[in-house]
Structure 1
Amino acid sequence: MTRVLVDLLFFTGKQGGTETVARQVYSRLAERPGWEFVGYASSELVAAGAEWFPGRLIDSGLQCDKRPQWAWGEVFGVSRAARSVGADLIHSPANFGPPRPGVPLVLTLHDMLAFKRPEFLPSKAGVLPTKLLISGAARAASHIVTDSEAARADILEITGRDAADVTVVFPGGSGVRRDVAEQPRSGLFSLGNRMPHKNFPRLLEALALLPEASRPVLTISGSHGDDPLRAVAADLGIEKWVDLRGWLTQDEVENLYRTSAAVVFPTLFEGFGLPVLEGMERGCPVICSDIPVLREVGGDAVRYFDPLDPADIARQIERTLADPAARATMVEDGRERAGLFTWDATAEGMLEAFGRVTR
């Protein structure tokens, strides 16, 4: 029996894509012969509940939202917890991990945003600590897993690790399939946190360029607390066309995928791009940034725009909404493309990475 200590310190129940990947993978690893999983969790995650985790949780007593506590836990707490439970392996699934793990460490490194585009981090003061924490974990890792070939290239460039040390394990889709004629669709849906690289102000600028008579309502989810986009929409005079929903439950997100005419994803930088995949598999046309990683996900099934050009974003939105036949083709192509990505395959890829360092 191989005992894995899983570093869940960064998760709170509301951490977006990185938490989605961990939740989907570990919900598929229950009762796998030869594997036992123990989670070392933040106090927020313990309070929120993690029914998806296939083992017992240890409450670290540390709060992710109190960053000095969380950083201490990554540097010292995870390795101590691994020793205390007799772990054979540590998995750190959210970019950060112990610099001296004491046992083999598999690090899931979703992207190298702090190194490639540090200006996109929410705090300048956080850039150096973030780089130091990621660098320490990347050096210590016995193996690194990442989400895309674009992210892998960045990791190899920045860390200097051998190519054999970094494996791509694509995230998957939920398997949700929606009928094209399920119900009338209207409006646009976009989702993500409010970090600068998500590029929502330019999306709002694009919305303002559309004629009022045909301007769709844009719903944006993913904010915590006061939404900084509210002031942007007010300055542009488009408040009545912008619905800022904040953090939504999964059922609420599913309803928006089901009822929206298109998903718009204006990001400037990603490790993968789950909203593109999620939109395709739910029968919702996807319009997104023309960056290499999203080409890996969307292929020829989605419509692309220059994310730095609000006029081009507006043009692609207008073209898509005005052409029902094109939308129907995008739905069918997207559904086929999404079938290439499954969470079962993601879970198997993670087990292969674990086996690589414990054999």
Structure 2
Amino acid sequence: MRLFMDARYTRTDFHDGISRYGSSLIAAVAQLSPAVEVTMVISNEAQLNLLPAGLPWVKVTDPTSPAEPFIARQLNPHRPDVVFSPMQTMGSAGRDYGLLLTLHDLIYYQHRTPPRDLPAPVRLLWRAFHLAFWPQRMVLDRADAVATVSETTRTLMRRHRLTSREIRIVSNAPQPVAEPREPELPPERSLVYMGSFMDYKNVETLIRAMAHLPGYRLHLLSRITADRESQLAAVGRAAGVPEDAVIFHHGTTDEDYEALLRTATALVTLSRAEGYGLPLAEAMAHGTPVVVADLEIFREIGGPDGGAARYVPLGPEPEDGGREVPEADGSPAALAARVLELEAPGAFAEASRRAVARAAVFSWHDSARALVDLARGVAERRSRAR
């Protein structure tokens, strides 16, 4: 089977969530079976720096190009059996191959502000697209089958009848860890946040919580615009958070990320919506507990409360749809209290061991098998229909 895997969402500097998902799946599928011929689809040769070495690739236009609806014109000559995209927006007009699309979450139906790094016309279309469910149905039903990353998202997709196609879970997973951290070694008084700074991520509350955690430092690892950093710094000042308690890293390497995870007390996030929550799995794989918002998806990933994960009830959302203000949010102190639980004798060591065990539930090998099984089924159905 000739399986083409869309790698055009791979970054050229540091992985973000979708970049790591696609790259990790490509590597795992390529190692799975010699009967599967994997070809990467890129739009920028610099993407090869963060993709598995030694695999064949073809270069086509960027996924935000006006040519995207007709991307099949560029792929058909290469005669793929099936093309897998880690997003749902890949063009399909005139295709001669099976198509697998991925929907990670339904976040933007509730939080419609699009990612800030998209071009203005794409941002406008993005917002319009999420005003109703029927455009998503049209997009997903163009595929032969659909993948998603969690049971939580699959349940939501079925509830809203987003596709008539088969939905298969091709889960996210942490990177393999050769040796987790030593659970008996006391952690540093530091917290790690890995994620974007979009409003629904609720980073303001993380920062306000530092006023209740004297001696702790919060590491914000992702890239951030100067304006957004200024806004968040102002939140900290207003809450009385010491300036050196919040550290902006402006992006980080995998090596530095792992080093911070392996010394921190916990990874933290109070996001109001997620499709999976990859940083949770990554932290747990290293033996780092997580303190996170009490969301269904986080319970799916983190397991029971008080084990690898500790859950924090969220305060109410702002009525005007804007960023939260201290009076409207009761969770900073609750987050701090759950972090401080890990200071109890034996608490961190026990949570660390349980974190490693919980992370082992997810693996790229299992995800690759699920994807290949789905692709083979699509290829066989198309072959019989000819």
Partner of 1:195: 198
Q: Aligned pair 1:36/2:29, yes or no? A: no
Shift in CA distance, 276/205, structure 1 to aligned 2, threshold 3 Å: same
Mapped pair 1:306 → 2:313: yes
The equivalent residue for 1:166 is 167
Give runs of aligned pairs for residues 116-155 of structure 1, distance below 5 A: 116-119=110-113, 122=116, 125=124, 126-129=126-129, 134-155=136-157
Residue 355 of structure 2 corresponds to residue 334 of structure 1: yes
Q: 1:351 to 1:53 in 2, by over 3 A?
A: farther
Is the contact between residue 199 and residue 266 of structure 1 (CA under 8 Å) also seen in structure 2?
yes
For residues 16 and 184 of structure 2, what CA distance do their matches in structure 1 show?
A: 30
Aligned length: 345
SS where residue 118 of structure 1 aligns? Answer: coil
Aligned to 1:82: 75
SS at match of 1:340: coil
- Equivalent-residue separation in structure 2 for 1:71 and 1:86 (angstroms): 22
Deviations along 1:122-181, one digit per CA (max 9) or x if unpaired, are 58723125779855431211111111111112222334434x710122222323122214
Give the TM-score normalised by the residue count of structure 2.
0.81
Shift of 1:96: 2.2
Deviates more, 1:266-275 or 1:133-142: 133-142
Partner in structure 2 of residue 228 of structure 1: 228
C-alpha displacement of 1:83 = 0.6
Question: Is residue 37–residue 54 contact of structure 1 (8 Å, CA) maintained in 2?
Answer: no
Equivalent of 2:106, from 104, 112, 137? 112
Provide the C-alpha distance between the structure 2 equivalents of 1:204 and 1:184, rounded to a whole number of angstroms: 20
Higher share of residues assigned helix: 1
SS at match of 2:346: helix
> How many Å apart are 1:112 and its aligned residue?
1.8
Pairwise CA distance, 1:215: 3.7
Q: Is the Cα contact below 8 Å between 1:171 and 1:346 reproduced in 2?
A: yes
Aligned partners of 2:263, 2:25: CA distance in 1, in Å?
27
The residue number in structure 1 matching 2:52 is 52
The separation in 2 between residues aligned to 1:142 and 1:265, in whole angstroms, is 35
2:2 is matched with 3
Question: Residue 292 in 1 paired to residue 296 in 2?
Answer: yes
Q: Which residue of 2 aligns with 1:67?
A: none
Percent identity over the alignment? 23
Shift, 1:61, TM fit = 4.8
8 Å CA contact 1:40, 1:81 repeated in 2: no
Does 2:376 correspond to 1:355?
Answer: yes
Letter in 2 for 1:298: G
> Where do 5+ consecutive residues of structure 1 fail to align?
65-69
Compared CA separation, residues 74 and 5, structure 1 to 2 (3 A): farther
CA distance in 2, matches of 1:136, 1:99: 12
Work out whether 1:318 is the aligned partner of 2:312: no
Greater CA deviation, 117-126 or 14-23? 117-126
Range that drifts further, 271-280 or 99-108:
99-108
In structure 2, stretches of 5+ residues that fail to align are 316-330, 381-386
**1:148-297 matches, cutoff 5 A:** 148-162=150-164, 165-176=166-177, 177-181=180-184, 184-208=187-211, 210=212, 214-226=214-226, 228-237=228-237, 238=241, 239-297=243-301
User: Secondary structure of the residue that 2:204 maps to in structure 1?
Assistant: helix
Q: 1:46 to 1:82 in 2, by over 3 A?
A: same
The one-letter amino acid of 1:174's match is Q
CA-to-aligned-CA distance 1:228-263 (integer Å, 9 cap, x gap): 134322343232110000111100101111111111
SS in 1 for 2:97: coil
Aligned residues of 2:42 and 2:57 also touching (Cα < 8 A): yes
Q: CA deviation at 1:285?
A: 1.5
**CA RMSD in angstroms, aligned pairs only:** 2.5
Query: Counterparts of 2:69 and 2:159 in 1: how far apart (Å)?
Result: 24
Q: What is the CA-CA distance between 1:26 and the residue it aligns to?
A: 1.1
Shift of 1:216: 0.6
Contact 1:23 1:52 in 2 (8 A): yes
| Mapped contact 1:106–1:145 kept (Cα < 8 A) | yes
Measure, in 2, the Cα distance between the counterparts of 1:248 and 1:287: 21
CA deviation after TM superposition for structure 1 residue 224, in Å: 4.0
- Deviating above 6 A after TM superposition, structure 1's stretches of 4 or more consecutive aligned residues are 130-133
The one-letter code matched in structure 1 to 2:104 is H
